[in-house]
Amino acid sequence: MVNSLKIENELQIELEKLIQDYGRCRELTVKWVPEMRQQRERESTSLFGDNCTMCGEVKDRTIYIYETELEECIHTLRHEFFEYLIDHELVGPYVSLYNKMFEGYEKAFQDTQYKRKEALIEILVEKEAKRRENERK
């Protein structure tokens, strides 16, 4: 029988050590949910193929651990911590940059398209006015 209190405590201690050692990711928490393993395996199989076993993941700043053995739980916690760290520190700025560039492009495109649309509407209004004027003659 797995001592759940011991695993939860060890995971919390390990996360605190990682946060202290690396001075990052203070916003993270850890939650041990071995009962979710089968459900997450079914979901991950559909995403990644038949050979994938989801041992843990980070969602909403919480590291979820699905393993049942302490050593595997610690390994998974470290894996997810470093993955979050890399994503947050390295990938995150690029995502932010991309989003800002896209917002700028989108706004410029919308402004340009709006001006073009308005100019086209004015051309059509003028042509319609001339057509109606010619009809009255």
Q: How does pLDDT run across 79-136, given as a tens digit for each residue?
A: 999 999 998 888 888 888 888 888 888 888 888 888 888 888 899 999 998 988 888 8
Across the beta sheet with 29-32, the strand order is 29-32, 62-65, 56-59
Number of domains composing the chain:
1
65: confidence class by pLDDT, cuts 50, 70, 90: very high
- Examine residue 107 and state whether it is found in any structural domain, yes or no: no
The answer, as to whether pTM is greater than 0.85, is: no
- Examine residue 131 and state whether it is found in any structural domain, yes or no: no
- Examine residue 88 and state whether it is found in any structural domain, yes or no: yes
- Examine residue 69 and state whether it is found in any structural domain, yes or no: yes
CA atoms within 13 A on the CB side of 68: 6
Nearest-angstrom CA–CA distance, 123 and 119? 6
Nearest-angstrom CA–CA distance, 46 and 40? 10
Residue pair 28/58 in contact (Cβ under 8 Å)? The answer is yes
- Examine residue 112 and state whether it is found in any structural domain, yes or no: no
- Examine residue 134 and state whether it is found in any structural domain, yes or no: no
- Examine residue 132 and state whether it is found in any structural domain, yes or no: no
Q: What is residue 69's DSSP assignment?
A: S
- Examine residue 120 and state whether it is found in any structural domain, yes or no: no
- Provide the residue type at 102 as one letter: F
Provide the residue range defining the domain that includes 29. 4-94
